Chains A and B, each alone.
Chain A
Amino acid sequence: MKKVVLLIYLVTLTALSGIMLISCGESEQQDSSRFSNQRASGNPGNVTSLSDFELEHGIGPIKQIMELTSLDNNLAKEGEKIFDSKCAACHKLDDRYVGPPQRDVLERRTPEFVMNMMLNPEENYQKHPEIKKLLGEYLTQMPNQNLSVQDARAVLEYFRKVKDEK
């Protein structure tokens, strides 16, 4: 008798587990066909290997070496305005502040890296070994200030200008 009971139990459990698996699976299938396929953006913690270019020049929209000609003073002036409004709350030119000093940034990073960091900070914080180290040192993440490529280019020109003014 005991064996019969146990057998009935096992059969019932198996059958119910089967139903459970099927019913769970079905509802998930239905869900994936919903409007809900448009996922929210963001992909935290996804570590992929970086290309040599990315290691040297950062991750972002700048994917090749830029051609930099002689200093454009008007563009640098424009860049100074943007820097004062959107960056200076955390960066000084010569002193460590919330973030690192910026006068000598082009001695530490390539122009492309500076651009990519301004334009795509989140991904660099997640994936780039140098920027991860930076986070360890400064303990605060640089916010994305949603600069356009032109804005970032102007700020770069400002950095080129102040570098020579030291």
Chain B
Amino acid sequence: MKKLFQKKYIFAFLIALSFAVFYFGCDQSKHTLTGDAASQVYIAPGTYDEFYAFMSGGFSGQLTVYGLPSGRKFKVISVFSQNPETGWGYSEETKDMLNTSYGFAPWDDAHHPQLSKTDGIADGRFVFINGNNTPRIAKIDLKEFETTEIIELPNSGGNHASPFVTENTEYIVASTRFSVPIPQADIPISSYKENFAGSISFVKLDPATEKMNVEFQIIVPGFNYDLARAGKGPSKDWAFFTSYNTEQAHTLLEINASRNDKDFIAAVNWKLAEKYLNEGKAKTMQAEYFRNYMDKKTHSAVSEKNTQVKVLYPEDCPGMIYYLPTPKSPHGVDVDPSGEYIVAGGKLASVIPIHSFSKMIKAIEDKQFDGEIDGIPILKYDAVIAGEVENPGLGPLHTEFDDNGFAYTSAFISSEIVKWKLGTWEVVDRTPAYYSIGHLMIPGGDTKKPFGKYVVALNKITKDRYLPTGPELTHSAQLIDISGDKMKLLLDFPTAGEPHYAQAIRANLIMEKAIKFYRIEDNHHPHSIKGEKESKVVREGNVVRVYMSSIRSHFSPDNIEGIKVGDVVYFHLTNLEQDWDIPHGFAIKGMNNGEILVMPGVTRTIKWEPKKPGIYPFYCTDFCSALHQEMSGYVRVSPAGSDVKLSYSLGE
């Protein structure tokens, strides 16, 4: 008996060993023990993902670029927050990008990336993203993967419902989450109902100059405007905005803004609004707001202050805006690929209501109104509703679409994605999300041509999904295969900041246009140098300008003397490299800001005010070559009033 027992052990051990060989024999990322999910997201080393995904950084204020299906992170694009890693918002060339009417605003909360569109399909030119806190919209150029313009929105109390683009990116729309007095005023908060208002902004993208401009705003009743989508196809001249707090509460909104049975979706005919604007129906309002852009010739930010904005009032503009009653504090509003259905995510509702665009037009023609608010007719619910999805999960928020007539709605409270059929409104599948899903994203899922291959769940809570990292955990995204009848979870991957919303586009629409370096001939920065011969150090009173160049593997000059305590030193570093993937970085001991990371062909400037005499080493921070460690130099700082002559050299 004892002997047999031992044999059993030996046998079990051998079997276990075999499984171990089996398990570790395959590359862990490819092994098939859990089905073929791993192979569906495995992108072999040195090969490319099928999609670029642009995920908002939420409270990080930035935008992160990932590959799908791998979930590999490629780049954090600095947008609204200073980034000492690149010098964004620290260097003299970039800090003006963060100017606002409230002064320098080095942080924001970035929620909704939105790719530019042509004919209702993402075109890969730009991605826009909103600054939620200090209302702004940023434009990122996808040739460079850099922020090239940020415009502030006046008359806005918080820019959440933004930036959603019209079918050909004629306009980027935005509406104010928090109502405030318009124009601003020092009045009691309790006078909300009498004095607070909302605004809906239409930011025009000039097709020739690619410049953003707040073309007009519509002043609307003081509700909270939450999310938006522009129409497409038949509804392309319209844009839709959800609202909550039609109760107009100004305190304890949790209870007080949830009383009404229905709130509204505002449907705005922007073509008609544009016509009213051209007919002179707009009033000019004084309003201070900034537009900042990167000048292409100097690679430097230019800040413009605007002082006026055109506003339209609904009562002056019949037919421009209608309210669609929508159950229970609707959050998301999403338009299906055909442009006919307008899906609302009533976060406290027990159904998902779907409005019909054609019924809405007919109801307007037939004047099927149920009263009006401040000149905005309220359409009858029964006259515009196309259907309701029953049992859609608890807390439905957002909906995206595939190319087979299905819609996918995120349900926050029940933490799941619910798949349902357009037209029959029947739920056909559901899959859990780990945990508390907010937005969800299908590549092209908000366009006329979705790629119904994957949906990405963007989750608010992570809990036990990863190794714990203290009280704060990474936010997480989950990739789910939607190519079959049943949704199938493929991958969890952590994200930077909060991945609030995301957009994805086929890689080939962007990668071929992406530039590899900036031509030095096109660098018209006033402090650039076009060759090492031009490097120099110039004193202008207590300002010292170092015109420095970098190339593998030295700076010119690399020895500088005659700097004095009290001087303000500007290092203007021009990277003379003309090769892909060769930025040089610059940092000097004791600097009180960030490094500068200088792309090939670009000039960047960092300010330095040395406070103590001594020798200060500087060096290249971005590993550039075999002799990167040698890429360094010294600055000698002498006491104020010293007679050490200003001098500079290289190789002497």
- Spell out A's residues near B (CB within 8 Å): 1-2, 5, 8-9, 12-13, 16-17, 19-20, 23-24, 26-28, 30-32, 34-40, 84-86, 88-90, 97-98, 139-141, 143-147
Q: Could you list some 21 contacts between A and B, CB below 8 A?
A: A2-B7, A9-B11, A9-B14, A9-B15, A12-B14, A12-B15, A17-B21, A19-B22, A24-B26, A28-B30, A30-B39, A35-B50, A36-B43, A36-B47, A40-B46, A89-B549, A139-B627, A140-B553, A141-B626, A143-B579, A143-B582
Q: Is B551 an interface residue (CB 8 A)?
A: yes
Given contacts A38-B48, A145-B578, contact A5 B625 (CB under 8 A): no
CA distance A30 to B43 in the complex (A): 10
**Contact in complex: A140, B578 (CB < 8 Å):** no
Residue of B nearest to A27 (CB): B39
Q: How many A-B residue pairs have CB under 8 A?
A: 125
Q: Which of A23, A37, A39 has the most CB of B within 10 A?
A: A23
**Contact in complex: A16, B18 (CB < 8 Å):** yes
User: Apart from A35-B47, A36-B43, A86-B531, what are 5 other A-B pairs with CB-CB below 8 Å?
Assistant: A32-B44, A39-B46, A40-B48, A85-B531, A88-B532
**Contact in complex: B530, A85 (CB < 8 Å):** yes
- B18-35 CB mask vs A (1 if < 8 Å, else 0) is 110110011100111000
Looking at chain B, what size class is its interface with the partner chain? Answer: 35 or more
CA distance A35 to B511 in the complex (A): 13
CB-contacts of B497-524 with A (<8 A):
507-508, 517, 520-521
CA distance A2 to B7 in the complex (A): 8
Q: Is B556 an interface residue (CB 8 A)?
A: yes
**Contact in complex: A23, B43 (CB < 8 Å):** no
CA distance A35 to B46 in the complex (A): 12
CA distance A100 to B21 in the complex (A): 56
Given contacts A86-B578, A143-B551, contact A27 B42 (CB under 8 A): yes
For A31, what are the chain B residues with a Cβ–Cβ distance below 8 Å? Answer: 39, 42-44, 47
CA distance A26 to B517 in the complex (A): 39
Q: Is B552 an interface residue (CB 8 A)?
A: yes
**Contact in complex: B576, A24 (CB < 8 Å):** no
Q: Is B604 an interface residue (CB 8 A)?
A: no
**Contact in complex: A9, B32 (CB < 8 Å):** no
CA distance A2 to B531 in the complex (A): 81
- B531-572 CB mask vs A (1 if < 8 Å, else 0) is 111000000000000000101111010000000000000000
Residue of A nearest to B14 (CB): A9
For B263, what are the chain A residues with a Cβ–Cβ distance below 8 Å? Answer: none
Given contacts A143-B582, A145-B577, contact A89 B551 (CB under 8 A): yes
With both chains docked as a complex, state the minimum distance between the C-beta of A150 and any C-beta of chain B, in angstroms. Answer: 13
Residue of B nearest to A135 (CB): B626
**Contact in complex: B651, A12 (CB < 8 Å):** no
**Contact in complex: A144, B579 (CB < 8 Å):** yes
Q: Is B38 an interface residue (CB 8 A)?
A: yes
Q: Is B10 an interface residue (CB 8 A)?
A: yes
For A28, what are the chain B residues with a Cβ–Cβ distance below 8 Å? Answer: 30, 44
CB-contacts of B47-71 with A (<8 A):
47-50
Given contacts A27-B30, A37-B47, A139-B627, contact A84 B530 (CB under 8 A): yes
- Counting from the closest, the 6 A-B pairs by CB-CB distance are A36-B47, A27-B39, A89-B532, A84-B531, A9-B14, A89-B551
For B210, what are the chain A residues with a Cβ–Cβ distance below 8 Å? Answer: none
Residue of B nearest to A83 (CB): B531
**Contact in complex: B26, A16 (CB < 8 Å):** no
For B533, what are the chain A residues with a Cβ–Cβ distance below 8 Å? Answer: 84, 88
CA distance A97 to B26 in the complex (A): 51
Residue of A nearest to B626 (CB): A140
With both chains docked as a complex, state the minimum distance between the C-beta of B79 and any C-beta of chain A, in angstroms. Answer: 27
**Contact in complex: B22, A86 (CB < 8 Å):** no
Q: Is B622 an interface residue (CB 8 A)?
A: no
**Contact in complex: B531, A5 (CB < 8 Å):** no
Q: Is B316 an interface residue (CB 8 A)?
A: no
For A84, what are the chain B residues with a Cβ–Cβ distance below 8 Å? Answer: 530-531, 533
CA distance A16 to B14 in the complex (A): 13
Q: Is B295 an interface residue (CB 8 A)?
A: no
**Contact in complex: A141, B625 (CB < 8 Å):** yes
With both chains docked as a complex, state the minimum distance between the C-beta of B539 and any C-beta of chain A, in angstroms. Answer: 24
Q: Is B382 an interface residue (CB 8 A)?
A: no
